[in-house]
Amino acid sequence: MPDLTPKQARFVEEYLVDLNATQAAIRAGYSKGTARAIASENLSKPDIQQAIAEAMKKREKRTQITQDRVLLELGRIAFFDPRRLFDADGNPVPINELDDDTAAALAGLDVTEEFAGEGEKRALRSLTKKYKVSDKNTALTNAMRHLGMLRDKLEHSGPNGGPLQVERVRLNMQPVEELPE
């Protein structure tokens, strides 16, 4: 890791929490008033850039969460085929028999049991299992955004959501005869 001040090292640690440089600066101990400027300055320093890159690489190795793995999981959800939840007769496939791609697309399983009777005469009357499937549209949108197929459009507005006020300024420029040394 590059030679950083204790505050800069803390900034790097805090930046990895949420990738919000201003908040990282505040959490690292910089004043709220200067946090945004300090954050921008820190992110432009080669030593801090290197420290962030090294820390991200360590985290990736430790957690085994890589961009490829995340994209593969998004793909499993985005291209999930619900027919794989059922056998040839239309019966639900037991969850432990689902293939990895199908299981990865599931968000959960709801099980409802209804019983009749009480005590030792209690008997299972019905058993309902409902697969919860992850949101396909969200997965597709996230994958498209990552691949550059979808760009977020930002709109700016003035106070209280009103239009931006544009001010035109006319500058009168005078030639400079001689620059001070």
pLDDT confidence band for 6 (50 / 70 / 90): very high
pTM, whole model, 2 decimals? 0.56
Q: Which region among 31-45, 62-76, 163-177 has the lowest average model confidence (pLDDT)?
A: 163-177
CA-CA distances (angstroms) from residue 162 to 117, 128, 154, 156?
65, 52, 15, 9
Asked whether residue 79 carries a pLDDT value surpassing 90, the answer given is yes
Asked whether residue 90 carries a pLDDT value surpassing 70, the answer given is yes
How far is residue 148's CA from residue 58's CA, in Å, rounded to a whole number? 26
Give the DSSP H or E segment for 116.
Answer: strand 106-116
Domains, the chain, ranges and CATH? 6-65 (1.10.10.1400), 70-139 (no CATH)
pLDDT confidence band for 176 (50 / 70 / 90): low
With pLDDT > 90 as the criterion, what percentage of the chain qualifies? 67
Look up residue 75 and give its two tokens.
């793909």
Asked whether residue 163 carries a pLDDT value surpassing 90, the answer given is no
In this prediction, residue 100 carries a pLDDT of: 95
